[in-house]
Chain A
Amino acid sequence: MKKLFNSAETMVDDMIDGYVSACPQVTRGTLDPRVVIRRQGAKNPDEKVTLLIGNGAGHEPIAMGFVGRGLLDANVVGDVFAAPSADLILDGIREVTGQAGSILLISQHSGDVINGRAATMLAEEEGLNVRPLLMYDDISAAPPERRHDRRGAPGTMFVYKILGAAAEEGLGQDALMRLGEAVRDRTVTLAAAVSPGISPLSGQPMFSLPDDEIFLGMGVHGEPGVGRVKTGPVRDLVAEMVERLLADRPIAEGGRAAVIINGMGGTTQMELWTVWRETEAELRRRGITPLSPMVGSYVTTQEMGGVSISLLEPDDEMLRLWCAPQDSPAFPHIHSEDDQS
């Protein structure tokens, strides 16, 4: 597989160089070049609670693309598909944590959890006020009674965005933790994979799948999902996905759902708008009003083909914060209901 990099050793740092140079909103931290922080719109961390997250590289634009006013304060970038080490996350915490405290968002995957929580322990030892918030939403990873064992999936972007907006407005650390948990507990995601990504390190496909089959419930690294379905019109696939999502966490007739349609890197925007069309129709057929969708490739695994559907049943405050303005390089403008009317 042809890839446009200089070398495996430098690919992550080369990418960060290009990113911070292209985007005036962000810059590198002073403690470690793998920490991306706001250049514009940084507020006094003694007054504003700061939000940060660590993740492996290779899934861009998440999460460094979401550093900016109204969203994240910092992103700690690990090696390709590898969670950053605890000491590196600690540098990120040191970089942004002030008197108002910080929240380390952790998308639930074992390396991220162990290193993220170890980093918060070391930070507390240094007297820093940081709290970890575990995020999980992939319904294929565990049944509803073991929700807390689920993996983090693209629905975690609801948590980033809503907490980012609330923190910008000055909400305190305790209230942000409660809000983040509430958003998490109202979010479900299911993914469907059609083709593998190619690892930039090995040049090899990350899993294999017959031409006429789709994996339901694939994790971002190609971890096995809940089952296989045959290819066909995409409306059938979307109907099954929406059915499973609402069976897991029902939304009553007359209810609302904010929606993320996320492409995994190798699925075209042409396909993603089509998936949104079918998702909207499925929700309306059940008497649920879909609103403020985010449709695009935001959590990717190289050129992996596939899509995930995430649903959040928001309260009014969550919906207001979901649609609030932000100024990060890669998060889209989310239209409010007022914009749409």
Chain B
Amino acid sequence: MSAEQYFTALHAMAEAEMARLNALDAALGDGDHGTTLLRGLTRAKGAEDGARAKAFMRASGGASGTLFGLVLHEIEQHLEAGAPLAEGLARAEARICDLGQVKPGDKSMVDALSPAVAALQSGDLPAAVAAAEQGRDATVEMTARRGRAQYVEAGGKGHIDPGAVSLTMMLALLAETEGAA
């Protein structure tokens, strides 16, 4: 499975999920998570080898474009150059926590990414996806400490974090296509 195929499939998935991601984001932020994700992936899909995650960052924009771009950068390196995925995603997690000043439990994409990284150290990609799904679902009960959701009523408790949802999508698609290859 090539990076090109992955980004094409991820773009199609974002297109299908855009409205749902926007609706989830509307409960916690400004309701554009699906739209910005799709805008970034539209550009990434047409970019050259090695430049897809960076094209995503440029087109998606803002802090979230950069943070998701760091995850896509590692997936791109893995698919294109065979870089070890566990190592790459661990690096992305560390960078996101550092740059975004978040940690697990803050109701963010990290709540899906962090358990997936841990599962990947000792297991395979399907196990990592299962861990991400669990982490994603656990964000419903969390109270946001960083990002937009910290300003909404009760820190967004009762709502799933849209970043954790889209992050899980990225990993699930990777597992699906790697399994198929």
Contact = CB atoms under 8 A, between A and B. Distances in A.
Contacts, number: 43
A86 B66 contact: yes
B133 to A, nearest CB: 27
A79 B63 CA distance: 14
Contact of B65 (A85, A113, A117): A85
Contact of A87 (B54, B63, B100): B54
Chain A interface residue number, banded: 10 to 19
Interface of A: 79, 82, 85-88, 90, 110-111, 113-115, 117-118, 121-122
B69 interface: yes
B179 interface: no
A114 B99 contact: yes
Nearest to A88: B58
A286 to B, nearest CB: 39
Contact of B57 (A79, A87, A110, A113): A87
Given A87-B55, A87-B57, A121-B95, A115 B63 contact: yes
Chain A residues touching B, majority SS: helix
Nearest to B54: A87
6 contacts: A85-B66, A114-B63, A114-B66, A118-B69, A118-B95, A122-B54
A122 B54 CA distance: 10
Contacts of B58: 85, 87-88
Closest 9 A/B residue pairs (Cβ): A87-B54, A114-B63, A87-B57, A86-B66, A85-B58, A85-B57, A118-B66, A114-B99, A87-B58
B67 interface: yes
A110 B63 contact: yes
A111 B67 CA distance: 11
A87 B57 CA distance: 7
Contacts of B65: 85
Interface of B: 54-55, 57-58, 60-63, 65-67, 69-70, 73, 95, 98-100
Contacts of A79: 61
A86 B62 contact: no
Contacts of B62: 82, 111
A86 B95 CA distance: 13
Contacts of B99: 113-114, 117-118
Nearest to B70: A118
A88 B55 CA distance: 9
Given A87-B54, A87-B58, A90-B54, A115 B95 contact: no
Given A114-B63, A115-B63, A87 B95 contact: no
A122 B73 contact: yes
Contact of A114 (B54, B60, B67, B73): B67
A81 to B, nearest CB: 12
Count chain B CB atoms within 10 A of each CB in A87, A110, A117, A121 and give the residue with the most: A87
B98 to A, nearest CB: 8
Nearest to A112: B63
Contacts of A86: 54, 57, 66, 69
Count chain B CB atoms within 10 A of each CB in A88, A114, A121 and give the residue with the most: A114
A82 to B, nearest CB: 7
Nearest to A32: B58
Contacts of A85: 57-58, 60-61, 65-66
